[in-house]
Chain A
Amino acid sequence: MDWWCYPMHNRGQATLIDLLFGIFIFILLFTVLASFFSTNYSNTQKQQLQTDLESKAFEATDQLIRFQGLPSNWETLSSIDDVNLFGIALRDRVIDENKLARLSSLALTDYNKVKQKLNIGQYDFILDLTGKDNVSIGISPASNATTIVIRRIVYYKGAEANVKFTLYKLR
């Protein structure tokens, strides 16, 4: 005889089992749904971060490789405080060697101020230029970082060169 085929006097037991089963399912569903909502919230935050990183990375890269900076002779100024915006272009997508060298120098001594003048907020960056010379400006990201990489092509020292601008936030 199957257990569900007990006479009526066993109905209380069946109710208890159902109750337990229902509680179990409730707990299971609650746990799963709570986890679902929690994870989605985290992903949304991360996506917002990436969007922000991407936006700032595009802007900073464009600013650097297409404009001379403000003032246009900022590379001759002695104090970084006098620089409004960084740009390392002689003209649109033609890199000025002097500006590049100056930016590299400033990034070693005033990294945070350079970030500020690049309008990249609290994020960190590294700019890699690969061409006649290989130049790196900024700090490389650690492994646990959210990172955006922008690739551009420029004219540098008489030849074409690749620019890789990496913007990231440590987790």
Chain B
Amino acid sequence: MSNSLYTNSDKQKGFVFSLDAILAILIVTGLIGFALITSFDKNPSTISRTNISQLSDDAITALDNSGYVQNEIDVNGFSSGAALNIYNKIKALFPGNVDLNILLKQYDLNTTTCKASPNFQNCFNDANILSLSAGSIIPSSKEIVHGKRVFSKREPPSQCLLSSFAEKKEISKKYSGPLYLAGEVPIDFNVTVVPSSQISCDQNVFITLSVGIGSSARKPVDIATVIDRSGSMDECAVADGNVLLQQSGQISGGTIGGGGARNNWVQIATFNNTVQLPFDVLVTNNIPCTTNCPELYIRRPNGTLYGFYNGSPGSNSCYDSSSQANYILVQQNRAQIGLWQIWAWNDNPAMDYNLTIKRVAGKITKMTAAKNAAITFVNSAKWQLPPDQLALISYSSSATVNQRLTTNKNLVINAINSLSANGSTATGEGIYSATGELTSVRANSAALKFQVLMSDGQTNTGRSSSGAATDAKNKNIKIYTIGFGPDADGTELSNIANITGGQYYYAQDANTLQAIYDLIAQDIALQANDANITVPIQSGGVVINLGGGSIIDGNLFFDINTLTQGTNWNATYVVNFPCNNANNCSFSALTFPGPGTFLTYTDSNGTHVVDWNEFVTVPYKYRDLDVNFVSGSIISQNSVSLDVNAANIGDLNTPATNIKFYLNDPDAGGTFLDQVPISALCGGKDISCITSYQLVNDALSTQGTIYATINDDNAIRECPGNNKDFINCYGEPATRYYSIDYYAWWR
């Protein structure tokens, strides 16, 4: 048994040993495994630490700083779109293994509970909260990071904002006028203004303008008097005088007897001469006549024949074939007192006639008339000798320089007196000679150069007058031409004048000839023709009295016509500046006649525009009520307090008036709220002329704009600008908030 046991025991020991070994191997293996596991490097070399709570807060803060959330709420309002946009934005900033959900909430003001007890819970209670969710569904099995951020929507503030409204506008002071040129004629300007010390608005202002020509500073002139002394100039000239008798009728029935005797004369008129003074008898008719022309004679009071005209000029008679004029002059010593008879003859057909009997000085020829007119021209006081110079050129078949340019007018007069008529008409030669003299060494290079040419006919010899005129023009010589008597060639003489920029005149008789010479002298010497003054009417001004002028294109226009030396032109016009015209509230003085006033005139040197250079400036006073809000505030839900200033910022005192308040613009149907009276305000632009008022108004039920007006019934004459101001008052506080709840988790 024991052996057996022993044996068994031996056998058992072997078995135990094997179990021990196996156990030992297992223990060792486990220890090695444990050691290997626990000794494994659990700390990788790179570790990324992302705190999603911190990251979420960073993201919301960044969106707040960038204004993204605010903008989404402003633009999209409380909407799923805004929530989704915000979610996407945050998600894009997060690592890819983080998920989130956002909850957008809107808190609206509960006015009922808030008014009862204004704390946050009452004002923004749960009943007025709306929410929208965006993003992934929040898992229940993961650790969730939660945060919240509150935003306010930019609602209008609970305050009154002063307006930047300004009615005052800059007044345009632009004046328009032409470009000014220097004139040849020295113009003296003058202006007087009444009242002269101060002008108040609404007051009439009397402005007297005066213009004259100065006595000096005219350019010197060289003038060549060119006289036609052809044979026709010896014919008698029709003289002018007082008409004693004038009648018209018909003459006919005359016959021609043997030897050409005129038979069957007709007494066409009688004339009672009451004083022994010369008179002439002129009969003109209307039918051109070449043979057997009408004839005229007169009988003395005693019945004897006095004068007879039958076609040949005599000492006392003339006949002009082109004008069919018969002319008889009765000299003074023969002008008997009594009843004179006028007889006329005309064969058939019947001829209309005009009879004129004038009291005249005596018979003159055209040459005599021309001499007289030329001498008067030379003697004119308009010439300043020196520096002016005169010359005489005469022409018939050829031209003669009778007197070279001289400052001695007697030499010229003597030369004129020495002229006698005969020969042909060489007008062109006369012009060439005059041009030669005016360009000779005797000419004054600084002088303006003129020819005054008188002719009773037309060129029939010598070079052409147009060529001569062109030559003169090229030498800056202007030619005035005068056609004297019915035979003068107006076409030729006009052409000469036109070429040289001069003027053509026609003189029918001696008196007219004299007048034309005078006119030319004025034109050459010193005279402003076609003169007129243009006065811009100042903006805001009203012309009460035009003073003889007229309104053209908004300007006051005075037509002076001819302005001569020694005779001043003047006119008084009246202007008023209304107090209630906004244009009249920006200046402190008025200047008359105002910038831009100018004179235009024409003289021998062309047309000129001269700027007015004499002004009077007078202080200007006005009154100007002004209202403006100083501040405003919301007192309660329906009440505002407004501080408003009323001021007179003008110079003149203002009487008492009212400030009226309106909800919204009164000019657009605003609602009247209240009014406060304001007392009279001093002028003088003094700080003391301002008064302040405060209005507490409980009628403002909603947000709106409150207007204040002063003098809105225009009872006071004052500047209309700044009579209205407004303030924007918002009757509600900022009442809406938004919050974002964000939830984030690792996936």
Q: What is the interface of chain A, defined by CB distance below 8 A to chain B?
A: 2, 4-5, 18, 21, 25, 28-29, 32-33, 35-36, 38-40, 42-43, 46-47, 50, 54, 57-58, 92-94, 144-155, 158-162, 171
Contact = CB atoms under 8 A, between A and B. Distances in A.
A6 to B, nearest CB: 9
Contacts of A38: 39
A51 to B, nearest CB: 10
A40 B39 contact: yes
Given A151-B55, A160-B89, 13 more contacts: A28-B32, A32-B28, A32-B36, A35-B39, A36-B35, A43-B42, A47-B42, A145-B46, A147-B45, A149-B48, A151-B49, A151-B50, A161-B62
Interface stretch (B13-21, B687-695, B706-714): B13-21
Interface of B: 10-11, 13-14, 17-18, 21, 24, 28, 31-32, 34-36, 38-43, 45-50, 54-55, 58-59, 61-63, 65-66, 68, 89, 93, 95
A19 B419 CA distance: 182
Given A4-B13, A35-B35, A35-B39, A160 B45 contact: no
A29 B39 contact: no
A33 B35 contact: yes
B58 A152 contact: yes
Nearest to B18: A4
Contacts of B43: 43, 46-47, 50, 146
Nearest to B94: A153
21 contacts: A4-B17, A18-B17, A21-B24, A32-B36, A36-B34, A36-B38, A36-B39, A39-B35, A39-B40, A40-B38, A42-B41, A47-B43, A50-B43, A54-B49, A146-B43, A149-B47, A151-B50, A154-B58, A159-B66, A160-B63, A161-B62
A162 B10 contact: no
Contact of A149 (B24, B46, B55, B65): B46
Nearest to A147: B46
Contacts of A93: 58, 61-62, 65
B54 A152 contact: yes
Contacts, number: 111
Interface of chain B: mostly helix, strand, loop or mixed:
helix
B234 to A, nearest CB: 109
A160 B31 contact: no
Contacts of B68: 160
B414 to A, nearest CB: 104
Contacts of B54: 152
Contacts of B65: 93-94, 155
A149 B95 CA distance: 13
A68 to B, nearest CB: 15
A32 B32 CA distance: 6
A29 B13 contact: no
B45 A92 contact: no
A22 to B, nearest CB: 9
B5 to A, nearest CB: 15
The 8 residue pairs across chains A and B that have the minimum distance between CB atoms = A39-B39, A4-B14, A36-B35, A155-B65, A153-B58, A46-B43, A147-B46, A160-B62
A152 B66 CA distance: 16
Q: Count chain B CB atoms within 10 A of each CB in A36, A47, A155, A160 and give the residue with the most.
A: A160
Contacts of B89: 160
Contacts of B14: 2, 4-5
B35 A32 contact: yes
Contacts of B13: 4
A155 B66 contact: yes
A82 B95 CA distance: 38
Contacts of B59: 153, 160
Contacts of A150: 49-50
Given A25-B24, A29-B28, A152 B55 contact: yes
Nearest to B21: A21
Contacts of B38: 36, 39-40
Contacts of A148: 47-49
A106 B40 CA distance: 41
Given A40-B39, A150-B49, A152-B58, A5 B31 contact: no
Nearest to A24: B28
A32 B37 CA distance: 11
Contact of A5 (B11, B32, B40, B66): B11
Nearest to B25: A25
A50 B41 CA distance: 13
Contacts of B10: 4-5
A99 to B, nearest CB: 16
Contacts of A144: 45
Given A25-B24, A47-B43, A153 B55 contact: yes
Contacts of B66: 155, 158-160
A161 B18 CA distance: 70
